[in-house]
Structure 1
Amino acid sequence: MRGDIALDAAFRTHGGALLRFLRGKAGADEAPDLMQEVFTRAAGSDQRHNMANPGGFLRRIAQNLLIDRSRRQCRRPAILVPLQEQGDAVSLPEQEWGLEAADLLRLYEAAVDAMPPKTRRVFLMHRVDELSYRAIHEQLGISIATVEYHMMKALREIAKVVDFET
């Protein structure tokens, strides 16, 4: 219950800035849907019960959503259309967002690749394989506190490489 109250307060306090951030990264049309997804993920997270930095917690979820979105867009096959010189001279905002998303994905992947092996393994087990901290603890034979340590270390490394200022 306490986590839900903290999440509601975080939404009221940081919602406006988070929506502006998402508009800048994904566009005005997609930002409200992404905002809803941020709070859906936050509400389902066990970490909502002990948020030391609610704004940072929500921003991290938003960044992860943008990274996931970028990955999905990179997997879509390109459709080649003949260039119409008069109509296609100016790049569309969606193209710029796609380039930003691709750059962001490259930075993210470089940060993950640069992590120490154990930190990278814990991070990928949690983020890619979607294992809980408890499942990682059981599989690797390390304490949950060690899993948390490696996750925080991984997130710090990614934050160093990927600059997310609004």
Structure 2
Amino acid sequence: RARLDSLFREESPRLLSYFRRKTGDHDAANDLMQESFVQIVQVSRFADLANPAAYLQRIARNLLFSQFRGPRKAFERQLVALDDNSDIALPPQQEASIEADQLLLLYEQALDDMAPKTREIFLMSRRDGMTYKQIQTEVSLSMGTVEYHMMRAIAHIDRYLDDHGENAR
């Protein structure tokens, strides 16, 4: 409990600022920050995390990505044609949507660059919402192997985004 309180005091302002920059929406930023902490509390091995702040940042990045997957389509429906004489600045949501599109493209490229089995297991977890136990049963692998593939996938995406995505984050 003390470790979580300390993490919250140290990281919540940073996360809130990160989400505000990326979403342009104070309420959405606050919701995403709170959801990040909810998810880290749900990690069964929270007490054993060597670097909970880094793990929290990974959760935050994943939440941001998930946040923009659905709204991207809704945003595209809201676009209106502008005449050539229009001089309208991009609203923060539109800038965030453009950044989300760039991040989504990088994410898809990182997935394409993964080993097939690692990609399959990662997508079963993140896209299909399957638990590690369900994945283990589906692909007939040990729990350790499923966890190994998930760690490889997350590390690969992290490296790929670090190497290719400075202006998309």
Q: Which band: TM-score by shorter chain?
A: 0.7 to 0.9
Task: Please say if residues 6 and 48 of structure 1, whose CA atoms lie closer than 8 Å, have aligned partners that are also in contact.
Answer: no
CA deviation after TM superposition for structure 1 residue 100, in Å: 0.5
CA deviation after TM superposition for structure 1 residue 80, in Å: 4.2
- Partner of 2:40 in structure 1? 42
Which letter maps to 1:71?
R
Task: Please say if residues 23 and 92 of structure 2, whose CA atoms lie closer than 8 Å, have aligned partners that are also in contact.
Answer: no
Report matched runs for 1:137-148 at 5 Å: 137-148=136-147
- Partner of 1:14 in structure 2? 11
Q: Judging changes above 3 Å, is the alpha-carbon distance between structure 1 residues 70 and 80 closer, same or farther for their aligned structure 2 residues?
A: closer
Task: Please say if residues 7 and 42 of structure 1, whose CA atoms lie closer than 8 Å, have aligned partners that are also in contact.
Answer: no
Structure 2: tracts of 5 or more residues without a match: none
Identity, in percent, stands at: 41
Q: TM-score, normalised by structure 1?
A: 0.84
Structure 1: distance between partners of 2:149 and 2:80? 46
Structure 2: distance between partners of 1:135 and 1:45? 17
For 1:115, what is the secondary structure of its paired residue? coil
For 1:152, what is the secondary structure of its paired residue? helix
Task: Please say if residues 19 and 32 of structure 1, whose CA atoms lie closer than 8 Å, have aligned partners that are also in contact.
Answer: yes
CA deviation after TM superposition for structure 1 residue 111, in Å: 0.6
Structure 1: tracts of 5 or more residues without a match: none
Structure 1: distance between partners of 2:38 and 2:9? 15
Q: TM-score, normalised by structure 2?
A: 0.83
CA deviation after TM superposition for structure 1 residue 152, in Å: 0.9
